[in-house]
Amino acid sequence: MTQDTQGYAKTAWHRSDLTYCTNVHPSETLEQLLAVIDGPLSAVRQARRLPNMGSGLWLSRTAATKALASDKAYLAFSQTLDANGIDLFTLNGFPFGDFHSKRVKEQVYQPDWTEEARLLYTLDLAVILAGVMPPERQEGTISSVPLGFGPDWSEARQATALDTLCLCIGGLYEIHQETGCSIRLCLEMEPGCVLEETDRLIPFFTRELPRALEQLQMDPDLLFQHLGICFDVCHQAVMFEDAYESLSRIHQAGIPVGKIQISSALELSNPANQSARNELAEFIETRYLHQSCHLDENNQVQRVMDLDQAVETFPRTTPWRSHFHIPIQTRELASGSLGTTQDQILRTLDFLLDHPDFHPHLEVETYTWQVLPEAIRPKDEPALIEGLSAELEWLEQAMQSRGLLQETSQ
């Protein structure tokens, strides 16, 4: 690994580059979003003693529409970012509607990439981002649904989604031409979705998308200029993929990784332990989908769509993993019966260290703070801010130990 004379990796990040995703905060409306920027987001920046800090904002369809409805609304958005020292270069464009409603579950994938509503929403996000992105940033990123929900899919829907993505690529190219800002749409693999594992992702990008562009008589070079992936560490850990190996294969295939979501899954290493299973059952909740996996006797991934099904049906002979984002500084729960896939975050950082040409946006994404079991759930907003700051501090330390973080005020 190449390092400079101060011992930093050539690909080193600044502290201010490290972000957290604001989908942890209820902010479906623009007014709520501005309050989040003024409130907890600014408070985390201050807790980290940074004059400016990057952020991965979640803008719902409602908030995005309001921001673009008038010059006054857009100016209020831009000025609120500036007043709070927030540099915006990445957006979460995955949840379209209210991500904090009583029940989200599989609705989070709607509308999917077969629908015009998803296309128009994403292009609106790109327009918003292009207008506020700091000029020194070479690229903005928007994470999004990995086509759609697996059980809903068909060959016809796949063909429609390919066409819609090609239209999005064309729209992002036009935004680049008009504004000079390059925005990359980043599809985010997730268990239970059409794109859920590396084996499926690579041929989609290297064969299916180029063929779709050719059929539409579009420039094939636009593909990797404006499309890539968001690699969510938790999601691939749930699928029992090794982060280093998965990223290596994606990188070798030439597929851009615009953003990595630094996240950790829940793991039960000894499901024969009754008390451990009981503790795991405390994570069953009604808002979000917690796809869960185990490996069978042939080392094949077996999956159910939610944690309650896993507790009821999974064998007790091999480890279980569940798509429940756990604060990343947590290696194991206090009882010691439940662990996390934190080691996969470290594997991700090792990959970054070994690949100096690889510099994605890094975003901590633990949106589940408010649905953790009551004993470990933040009691109020100050406690949540403390937890979010602790996540970023842990990430900083892990990166500093690898020379991935430049030790400056930024």
Q: Is 330 helix (H, G, I), strand (E, B) or coil?
A: coil
Q: Are strands 53-58 and 361-364 parallel, antiparallel or unpaired?
A: unpaired
Question: Does 236 map to a domain?
Answer: yes
CATH number, domain with residue 210:
3.20.20.150
Which residue range is the domain that position 148 belongs to? 15-263+360-400
Name residue, tokens 């299973």: 277
Mean pLDDT throughout 100-104?
A: 98
* Residue whose tokens read 């068909």: 154
Q: Report yes or no on 206 lying in a domain.
A: yes
The contacts of residue 71 (CB under 8 Å, 6+ apart) are none
Q: List the beta bridge partners of residue 286.
A: none
DSSP annotation string for 127-182: HHHHHHS-TT-S-EEEEE-SSSBGGG--HHHHHHHHHHHHHHHHHHHHHHHHHS--
Bridge partners of 259, per DSSP, are 230, 361
Instruction: Please give the pLDDT value at position 138.
Output: 86
Strand blocks (E) in 12-80: 19-20, 53-58
Q: Would 300 be classed as within a structural domain? A: no
Residue 39, in any domain of the structure? yes
Does some domain include residue 171? yes
pLDDT band of 10, cuts 50, 70, 90: low
Q: What is the mean pLDDT of residues 88-108?
A: 98
Domains held by the chain: number: 1
Tell me, yes or no, whether 199 lies in a domain. Answer: yes
Please identify which residue in the block is written with the tokens 């907003």. 381
Residue with tokens 């499901």: 271
Cβ count within 10 A of residue 206 = 14
Largest alpha-carbon pair distance within the chain? 60
For the stretch 131-180, pLDDT in tens is 999 999 989 999 999 999 999 999 999 999 999 999 999 999 999 999 99
Average pLDDT over residues 69-85: 98
Q: Is 299 inside a domain boundary?
A: no
What percent of the chain stands above pLDDT 70?
Answer: 96
Q: What is the C-alpha to C-alpha distance for residues 263 and 248, in angstroms, rounded to an integer?
A: 19
CA distance 80 to 64: 15
In a domain, 70, yes or no: yes
Nearest one of 55, 52, 48, 50 to 24, comparing CA atoms? 55
User: Average pLDDT of the chain?
Assistant: 96
- The rounded radius of gyration (Å) of the Cα atoms in the chain is 20
Q: What gap in Å lies between CA 58 and CA 169, rounded to an integer?
A: 21
CA-to-CA dists, residue 88 to 131, 239, 382, angstroms: 10, 31, 23
Q: Report in angstroms the alpha-carbon separations of 201 from 110, 254, 298, 318.
A: 20, 12, 22, 26
Cα(405)–Cα(399) distance, integer angstroms = 6
Q: Are 262 and 345 in contact (CB under 8 A)?
A: yes
Q: What single DSSP character describes residue 376?
A: G
Answer left, alpha or beta for residue 242, where phi above 0 means left and psi between -120 and 50 means alpha.
beta
Q: Is residue 4 predicted with pLDDT exceeding 80?
A: no
